[in-house]
Chains A and B, each alone.
Chain A
Amino acid sequence: MHVNIVGAGIIGLAVAFELESRAHTVTLIDPAPGQGASYAAAGMLAPAAETVWGNGPLHQLLAASNAAYPQFIERIESATGQRPDYLQNSTLVVAAEPADREALHELAELQISLGLSAQKLLPSQARKLEPALAANIAGAVLCQDDHQVDPRSIVKILLEHLRPHLVEERAQALVTDGKRTTAVRTASGRILEAEQTIVATGLGTLDGLNELPLRPVYGDILRIQGPAGPPLITRTIRGIVHREQVYLVPRRDGSLVLGASVREDRQQAVNIGAMHLLLDNARKLVPGISDCTLNEATARARPATPDDRPLLGRLDPGLLLCTGYSRHGVLLAPLGATLTADLAHGHQSHPLHQAVDPHRFANAT
């Protein structure tokens, strides 16, 4: 079977890789592959820490995909000879103030009740694990199964591997025969035919596609260089500081990712107020970041759905949707790729299909 995949961010690439490993041929269509939300993402794989009150079955998706990650990484390595920067080094969630600790501990109980790994620590225990933490933190929770990957390393490796199948053009429209999607027309007028077309464009638009329940939720994120010498921190530190969220993800090379804001103001450039707040809050948790240097400040939009779960399912006999991963695209890439490839085969046996059904909002609109 030949499959078109519109969008070569981490989702489109993971789907293409999955289909290729099932002996299908693919065409990836993207004018700027890997330059959307995947380019900004920190790559936290945090099914426990991302589970909050009222987000329903999302945690099942997050946990299932997290469990699939080691194999996903192994398969990329064995197919390409290159290993993405994947670190199974856990996550420490830290509360700055007593009220933050109360909220953090209540969340930990929710996470534990859902079978996720979260363990309350005393501030002194947390500081033994990570001595760079501020002396006055109020509380901490250790999430043993929450890990991290550098999304740029996955994108780079998969893009190199799949480059022969890449059409670096904007997909303009879906072509149908009245019953099913048969091809994609590019901006230059090329017609790319395929048995199946998979839309993984995030916020990108495509003529012939019905309006999707997606909106841009912008995030600002900084990449900083740690001081010389031993690494500042050895695992991901997430914080709740006066109710605001902040995180620091340490990379193997001594750099760190500091994020991320949540904005719905449609301002595409990095926002100064958001950056200030991120730095201020991060410094309250890890004072040593004052000695770091700034490598990069990036803003991108996350393709968000009303309930933060992706839109994954069949739209017509030749068309599948695999987008709307909100803030969970990197973590959900392996699961999303498996579910999408199953759908391309006509299988819909996975119990999680219902949670991502793109038609689930029909009664709300």
Chain B
Amino acid sequence: METRNITELDIHSDPFQIAGRTLSSRLILGTGGASSLTTLESALRASGTELTTVAIRHFSAAGAGNVYELLQRNNVIALPNTAGCFTARDAILTAHLAREALETNWIKLEVIADEHTLLPDPLELHAATEQLVADGFQVFAYTNDDPALAQRLQDAGVAAIMPAGAPIGSGLGILNPHNISTIASRAQVPVILDAGVGTASDAALAMELGCDAVLLASAVTRAHNAPLMARAMKDAVRAGRAARLAGRIPRRDTALASSPAEGMMQTLVGDFS
């Protein structure tokens, strides 16, 4: 458990160090799923995010008026991802194309096992990580909520571990909170909860479990009112982070009154004896 001396006011200047950069927001937004660029832009602004993921295979960096231009004018960093890749080979190729097109060595590495679950393929993921780290990339690895795999990815040199709370787009929240907290407690690199967030409480829980940041897309971009949900996520991530730093009370099976009853009884007894 992280113990830091932090006050309520300091939480708003609680920097997030990631791959050599310092961000003030711990909410990372994905860009997929918005009904229009105008809606996406409003949501990005409401979220206060400084980092977003973009599927480089779906959004060409060429030309004007595209999502990259939108991110640039809002001072939001584009983190390219390898969404849509099913083999290490395709993911490595996509990462190199992204580096060329966007002039960044950051890559969010997704190697999907199958279209039904969209869960990561651990073997392909590890193979691609090894190669991309050797090629000089800062690898943000989208992984299962498996602490052992998370450890192996860290050993392979990732810049961040991004465990799934639940399958992509499912909105099921965090299905195995214990694994997420185990990953967070053992990690030497930032842990970013990725995928599965459905609503604000899921994002808050991720931070309470010890994650350093939360990445979400559909929960905001496909909400009826995307900017309002973005604002809710911003508040939830802050609240969860503050609760984590504040240190929660232990869980107990029986009640314990908030005002101490024992002392009161002794005082009363003393008065009448």
Contacts and interface: CB of A to CB of B under 8 A. Distances in A.
Interface of A: 52-55, 106, 110, 211-216, 243, 263-266, 273, 306-308, 364-365
Interface string B215-257: 0000000011110000000000000000000000000000000
Given A52-B35, A55-B36, A215 B66 contact: yes
B3 interface: no
Nearest to B84: A273
B60 A266 contact: yes
B73 interface: yes
A306 B225 CA distance: 17
Given A54-B225, A306-B36, A307-B36, A266 B41 contact: no
Given A263-B58, A265-B60, A364-B41, A54 B36 contact: yes
B62 interface: yes
Nearest to B74: A364
B38 interface: yes
How would you classify the secondary structure of chain A's contact residues: helix, strand, loop or mixed?
A: loop
Interface in B84-137: 84
A263 B169 CA distance: 19
A211 B223 CA distance: 32
A266 B66 CA distance: 11
A309 to B, nearest CB: 9
Interface of B: 35-39, 41, 57-60, 62-67, 70, 73, 84, 169, 223-226
**Chain B facing A: main interface SS:** loop
A213 B37 CA distance: 11
B35 A264 contact: no
Nearest to A56: B38
A152 B19 CA distance: 53
Contacts of A273: 84
Contacts of B57: 265
A103 B97 CA distance: 36
A65 B15 CA distance: 51
B35 A306 contact: no
Nearest to B56: A265
A55 B225 CA distance: 10
A214 B65 contact: yes
A181 to B, nearest CB: 22
Given A52-B35, A55-B36, 6 more contacts: A53-B225, A54-B224, A55-B39, A306-B70, A364-B38, A364-B73
